[in-house]
Structure 1
Amino acid sequence: MTDWVRVCATSELLPGESQVAWDGDTAILVVNLDGDLYAVEDKCTHEDFELSAGAIDGGEVECTLHGARFDLRTGEALCAPAYAPLPRFPVKVEDGAVWTRDDR
């Protein structure tokens, strides 16, 4: 299992904001939804495109390439053309920072 990767200071990830961290070759999108932190792979499961370029609204992120939407809390694909869920990753807050890791 890989080590935890620092995403940012907690003050840099306020409610409604997101950050991208890299764990090796994996881009991880970390989002603050009303004080709860969620982390998913920053790659649409329909086509290899970064989800961080899309809009985050109501706990969902939309891929700007073809309009697929995903639930950030569960990773579930919510509409076509994506059918596979997003990989989810653990998030922790420690020493004033947000951390995540690719634990697959």
Structure 2
Amino acid sequence: MKFKSLEGDQLDQVVHVRLTGSEKSQLREDADLASLTVSALVRRRCLGRPVAVREDQVVIKELRRLGSHLQQLLERDGELCSGDIASALRSVITYMDERTTNP
């Protein structure tokens, strides 16, 4: 079976690496979190390419959704929130916006 990289080049070379059992388990876990094969994960890490963890993106999306709801509550019921709480909520929303645009 022939394999191709994302750039379309054929992946026809093999590198053998010795690992401990725990290192191999860690690589498998990291690959699963990133929805990659172990080979793809190792290639990306060795070549300095980014590895995005799928769950991070899901968590960020959910936090942005919650922050948006909090912002709506703050705007609607502003008198219920103290200035410190309102400031903290704005900081969280700003932080999540920055993380989503620049992960």
Q: TM-score, normalised by structure 2?
A: 0.22
Larger Rg: 2
Which has more helix, going by share of residues?
A: 2
Instruction: Identify which of structures 1 and 2 has the higher relative contact order when contacts are C-alpha pairs closer than 8 Å and 6+ apart.
Output: 1
- Which has the larger strand fraction? 1
**TM-score using structure 1 length:** 0.22
